[in-house]
Amino acid sequence: MTTSLINSRSSQHADAAYLHVPFCVHRCGYCDFTLISGRDELIDVYLEALEIELSSLQSPRPMQTLFLGGGTPSHLSLSQLSRLFDLLDHWLPTTSESEFSLEANPLDLSWEKLDLFAARGVNRISLGVQTFNDDLLKVLERDHSGTQALEAIQRTRSFVDNLSIDLIFGVPGQSLDLWQQTLDLAIAAQPLHISTYGLTIEKGTSFWIRREKGMLSPLTPELEREMYGRVMDCLSAAKFEQYELSNFARPGFACRHNIGYWTGRSFYGFGPGAAQYLDGCRELNHRSVTHWLKRVQSGRSPISERESLNDEDRARELAVLNLRQIAGIDCCEFEERTGFDVHLLAGETITRFLRRGWLEATDSHVRLTREGRFVADTIVAEFL
Amino acid sequence: MNPQFIRNFSIIAHIDHGKSTLADQLLLKTGAITQREFKEQILDDLDVERERGITVKARTVAIPYQQDGIKYELNLIDTPGHVDFHYEVSRSLAACEGALLVVDAFQGVQAQTVANAYAAINNDLVIIPVLNKIDLPVVRIDEVLEEVESILGLDISDVLKVSAKKGIGIEEVFRAIVAKIPPPKGKPEEPLRALVFDSKYDGYRGVLTYVRVMDGTIRKGQKIRFLKAKIDVDVIDMGQFRPHMTACEELGPGQVGYLVTGQKELGLVHVGDTVANPQQLPSAPLPGYQVPQQMVFCGMYPIEATDFEKLREELQKLSMNDASFSFIAETSEALGFGFRCGFLGMLHMEIVQQRLEKEFEIDLIQTAPNVTYEILTRNDEVLVIDNPQRVPDSGQIKEFREPIVRVNFILATEAIGPIMQLCAERRGIYKSTEYLGPKRAQLVYELPLAEVIYDMYDKLKSITRGYGTMDYEIIGFSPADLVKMDILVKGNRVDALSTIVHRSNSDRRGRALAKRLKEEISKHQFEIAIQAAIGAKIIARETISALRKNVTAKCYGGDITRKRKLWAKQKEGKKRMKQFGEVEIPQKAFLSVLDANKDD
């Protein structure tokens, strides 16, 4: 591609952005994200490149939601973080009304860093806890203990109220009891938001290779089902509202940025592997950190894939994304956004799953039932 | 053209010994094609063939050649190179007086070298042995020559040594063709007799008939009669392949070419028929060919019922170009309306299926292939069974017979033990071992065809690390203790999954099949029992538990495209399913019968 960086930027303005910080101390065995570990000398070059990529915006874009994900954004040093925040202040300014999220690793959250985050406008921290059980943390190849995670939660809360913790279930060796213990500890720690993910073993990870060699045995789907059922029961009892398949929040604390993804909102993407969605066109930056660096430094577009769906496919995709939300598809809004009546677009599918008890329909919405949430992948595929 | 200056020949070889490359060289050297036109393996023009490096259909090309001031016409009639296509080989050979037998100078004589050489000998052809690939760094010229002499009984005193790839020794090949292969015997003034050795349907010209003139002359515009089909038509146009279609006014004795007769109707031209002049009929037709033995059958069903007529048309077109392929409409409770198709072997089946899907864009469900069986009933009637669903009640069966083949293996001596063991497990009867040298041997067994076609070739390749070869011919039917095994999915018998097995294997195969089906059929909202049964007796059972959970992974901005593609693929997979009662059975499940037939 010979597109220059500047020209590649679409004319549409978005008020949401995702920025990917691809650095980690170590790649965990299950992780297939864009990241580079043990190459901290690249961080400064990365920040330089990020400045170039951001400047393709040509003018600052005020943000409603800004999300720093990784990798591990909290892995950067204080001075590197300051530099990053300077860039963001200029190009993607946020206000106290905005939601400014940052993903963090428990061991990184020193008082100094937390202080800096709060001072620079970060008002939501998403903490990668995964589990509080030390044996399972070793299986996952995390570098912290359960106790350290709890301490990090307490420390964070002195600076940022809106704290979310990420948990993983379905870890090899995890029993239903161990999962319950982690859930109990998570609830007791009183975060405002909890995300729970079923472990998936992706190609290209060491988990994948170990499973192929029979060195890692995944849990049975039956046990995973019980674990997911347990999440929904416990968190709703603890007054968390489930608003998406994997996401639970105290009222008013659902992640606005992520909701944008499921409602088809436009957003910018910066950094290696980041996606952006503008004018109905989805673009994906090169996943290789060094490749992204080279392209940006030489003034070329870092985009590796670009996809513009036709109206119908875009509508179908939106239906799928909407369905991941517990509220489901708002039929009126859907038709307004896409021009398609969802009952005409997928009537047969809807009827079939209504009969199976996996979907329910009200006057205004089509959504997954509780039973449907267990088999969401099977259901949403039929809408495509 | 004076027949004295015509030579008709084939090139025969084991697969990959360089047959097509040699053919290309002959064309290139004589300028029949220019360097610009030269494409590798120009004679293999079907996609599927090119992909697999094999020739399926017989091709023909007239090569103009000049030697010592005399102009010759060399007609190369190409032959297929795979074990499945014996029939087409013999067809091509019947149109020739000689054959170049190409043998790889390193690999030596292989199973199809032997089979092809015998076919040529049976057709009274002059065989010219050609040692190919002599440019390779490692060759075994002396040993290979010894094999040619001892196994094939051919004179090796003046064997040609060539490299078709590098163009070495090609002139000597031409000289040998002219010197050793006899010119055709027919006379131009005798009553016309031309052998139909192939036919092809061309969208613009209708039916093209490939003929080799044996006696007399065919002229453009004349009336001809197909003796067997008993129809008279006009020769609207005619010509030769040089290698592109080149019109001509007449074809005399020994010449090879095509006829355009304006026929649009499929199925009227029979390969093996004799073309004659209705005004001057010959005393007897040409002997023609044996009817091809279709030994492998399978059901082909369109996934969309509306594609049935389209499928019929395409099958008709295919059978027009391939006399060894047959089809007949059938119905299955499970799959609806479709066709039972007959093939020469497994490769032939795969090729037809691929062509249907690729060229005609019809999504198919194919049932597992089976061989032909014979059943002698209590009323002493012999039923030919090409579909397991047709097996009558066991009470009516006096004798259940299966086809037996004589299998000829050529392999390294150390592989004899493992292959003998494999054959014993497959109910084989040992016939003979012959040593071809200190390290190589020919092993002969009689085996049930059903035990050979599915995976014997793969097993042989793996046991011999790719160096063993095999070939087989049908020798007849013999009685065996065979039974029909049914499959019940959620209590319903799925007729398309029925199979015929030997009683001694039935338990093992029933269990293996139930297990494979459990893997292939995805979970539903309810539990699904899969049972294997012989008559009313259940011999194996597996249960697919109800679907109650699939992964709930994250889906954020960067995941959307990848996830959507994944889901779309998942949905695409479902298109290839057949709804059977409440259960969706994927296309692959119908073929799992095949896997269950293999040893674990």
Tell me the pLDDT of chain A averaged across its residues: 94
Residues of A with CB below 8 A from B551's CB? Answer: 198, 200, 224, 377
Cα separation of B217 and B241, whole Å? 18
Predicted confidence at residue B569, as pLDDT, reads 82
- Cβ-defined contact of B547 to A245 (cutoff 8 Å): no
- Cβ-defined contact of B548 to A375 (cutoff 8 Å): yes
For B560, which of A221, A321, A356 is closest by C-beta distance? A321
Predicted confidence at residue A148, as pLDDT, reads 97
Cα separation of B225 and B214, whole Å? 15
Q: Which range is least confidently modeled, A257-261, B19-23, B35-39, B89-93?
A: B35-39
Q: What is the nearest CA distance from B563 to chain A, expressed in angstroms?
A: 10
Tell which residue, A228, A215, A108, A213, has the closest CA to residue A170. Answer: A228
Mean pLDDT of B580-586: 82
Cβ proximity of B101 and B33 under 8 Å: no
Amino acid identity of residue A254, one-letter, is: A
Residues belonging to chain A with any Cβ–Cβ distance to chain B shorter than 8 Å: 18, 20, 195, 197-198, 200, 221-222, 224-225, 228, 245-246, 258, 261-262, 267, 269, 273-277, 282, 284, 305, 307, 317, 320-321, 324, 356, 373-378, 380-382, 384
Banded pLDDT at A1 (limits 50, 70, 90): very low
Residue of chain B nearest A319, judged by CA positions? B564
Cα separation of B448 and B429, whole Å? 9
- Cβ-defined contact of A377 to B567 (cutoff 8 Å): yes
Predicted confidence at residue B59, as pLDDT, reads 66
Q: Does B543 touch chain A (CB under 8 A)?
A: no
More confident residue, B186 or A78: A78
Between the CA of residue B53 and those of B18, B40, B46, B113, B277, what are the distances in Å? 10, 11, 10, 17, 40
Q: Is the ipTM, as predicted for this complex, more than 0.90?
A: no
Predicted confidence at residue B56, as pLDDT, reads 40
Predicted confidence at residue B368, as pLDDT, reads 84
Domain architecture of chain A: domains with CATH: 3-262 (3.20.20.70), 315-381 (1.10.10.920)
Predicted confidence at residue B42, as pLDDT, reads 45
Q: Is the pLDDT of residue B375 over 80?
A: yes
Banded pLDDT at B47 (limits 50, 70, 90): very low
Query: Which B positions 393-432 lie with beta carbon below 8 A of chain A?
Result: none
Q: What is the nearest CA distance from B600 to chain A, expressed in angstroms?
A: 19
DSSP at B293:
-
Residue B469 in tokens: 């070869």
- Best of A227, A379, A384 to substitute, by most chain B Cβ atoms within 10 angstroms, is A384
- Cβ-defined contact of B571 to A378 (cutoff 8 Å): no
Q: Does B561 touch chain A (CB under 8 A)?
A: yes
Residues of B with CB below 8 A from A377's CB? Answer: 550-552, 567, 570
Predicted confidence at residue B89, as pLDDT, reads 66
Q: Which ranges of B153-279 would DSSP assign to H, the alpha helix? A: 170-180
Residues of A with CB below 8 A from B545's CB? Answer: 222
Mean pLDDT of B553-575: 82
Cα separation of B244 and B32, whole Å? 9
Residue B506 in tokens: 């039935």
Q: Give the residue carrying structure tokens 């085996």.
A: B447
Amino acid identity of residue B105, one-letter, is: A
Q: Does B570 touch chain A (CB under 8 A)?
A: yes
Query: pLDDT tens-digit profile of B391-449?
Result: 998 899 999 999 999 999 989 899 999 999 999 999 999 999 988 877 888 999 999 99
Residue of chain B nearest A221, judged by CA positions? B549
- What predicted TM-score, i.e. pTM, was given to this entire model? 0.61
Handedness of CA B87, B92, B97, B98 (dihedral sign): negative
Mean pLDDT of B173-200: 91
Residue A232 in tokens: 């929904």
For B564, which of A228, A273, A384 is closest by C-beta distance? A384
Mean pLDDT of B57-82: 80
Region of residue A361 (left: phi > 0; alpha: psi -120 to 50; beta: else):
beta
Residues of A with CB below 8 A from B526's CB? Answer: none
Mean pLDDT of A253-269: 96
Q: Is the pLDDT of residue B597 over 80?
A: no
Q: For residue A18, give the 3-state DSSP assignment.
A: strand
Mean pLDDT of B246-266: 88
**Span between the terminal Cα atoms of chain B, in Å:** 61
- Best of B543, B545, B554 to substitute, by most chain A Cβ atoms within 10 angstroms, is B554
Mean pLDDT of A279-283: 91
Predicted confidence at residue B38, as pLDDT, reads 57
Mean pLDDT of A161-170: 96
Q: Is the pLDDT of residue A257 over 90?
A: yes
Banded pLDDT at A83 (limits 50, 70, 90): very high
Region of residue B380 (left: phi > 0; alpha: psi -120 to 50; beta: else):
left
Predicted confidence at residue A74, as pLDDT, reads 97
Residues of A with CB below 8 A from B561's CB? Answer: 275, 282, 284, 305, 307
- Cβ-defined contact of B552 to A356 (cutoff 8 Å): no
Amino acid identity of residue A76, one-letter, is: L
Predicted confidence at residue A233, as pLDDT, reads 97
- Cβ-defined contact of A261 to B525 (cutoff 8 Å): no
Residues of B with CB below 8 A from A273's CB? Answer: 558
Banded pLDDT at B18 (limits 50, 70, 90): confident
Query: pLDDT tens-digit profile of B492-512?
Result: 899 889 999 999 989 988 998
- Cβ-defined contact of B571 to A375 (cutoff 8 Å): no
With a CB cutoff of 8 Å and minimum separation 6, the contacts of A79 are none
Cβ proximity of A262 and A324 under 8 Å: yes
- Cβ-defined contact of A221 to B570 (cutoff 8 Å): no
Residues of A with CB below 8 A from B557's CB? Answer: 18, 261, 267, 269, 274-277
Predicted confidence at residue B16, as pLDDT, reads 79
With a CB cutoff of 8 Å and minimum separation 6, the contacts of B483 are B394, B400, B500, B501, B502, B503, B506, B534
Q: For residue B84, give the 3-state DSSP assignment.
A: helix
Q: Which range is least confidently modeled, A159-168, A320-329, B453-462, B570-579?
A: B570-579
Cβ proximity of A272 and A288 under 8 Å: yes
Tell which residue, B419, B421, B472, B417, has the closest CA to residue B450. Answer: B472
In this complex, how many residue pairs, one in chain A and one in chain B, have their CB atoms less than 8 Å apart?
A: 89
CB count within 10 Å of CB A239 equals 10
- Best of A375, A382, A383 to substitute, by most chain B Cβ atoms within 10 angstroms, is A375
Q: Is the pLDDT of residue B179 over 50?
A: yes
Mean pLDDT of B377-382: 94
Region of residue B163 (left: phi > 0; alpha: psi -120 to 50; beta: else):
beta
Q: Is the pLDDT of residue B104 over 90?
A: yes
Banded pLDDT at B52 (limits 50, 70, 90): very low
- Cβ-defined contact of A246 to B548 (cutoff 8 Å): no
Q: What is the nearest CA distance from B418 to chain A, expressed in angstroms?
A: 29
Predicted confidence at residue B1, as pLDDT, reads 80
Residues of B with CB below 8 A from A269's CB? Answer: 557-558
Residue of chain A nearest B567, judged by CA positions? A381
Between the CA of residue B527 and those of B146, B522, B538, B546, B550, what are the distances in Å? 64, 11, 18, 5, 16
Mean pLDDT: which of A357-366, B119-128, B333-342 is highest?
A357-366
User: In the structure, how many helices (H) and strands (E) does chain B have?
Assistant: 14, 34
Q: Is the pLDDT of residue A9 over 70?
A: no
Mean pLDDT of B312-335: 83
For A258, which of B556, B568, B571 is closest by C-beta distance? B556
Query: pLDDT tens-digit profile of A264-277?
Result: 999 999 999 999 99
Banded pLDDT at B46 (limits 50, 70, 90): very low
Query: pLDDT tens-digit profile of B142-159?
Result: 999 988 988 888 888 889
Q: Is the pLDDT of residue B48 over 70?
A: no
CB count within 10 Å of CB B413 equals 15
Q: Is the pLDDT of residue B568 over 90?
A: no
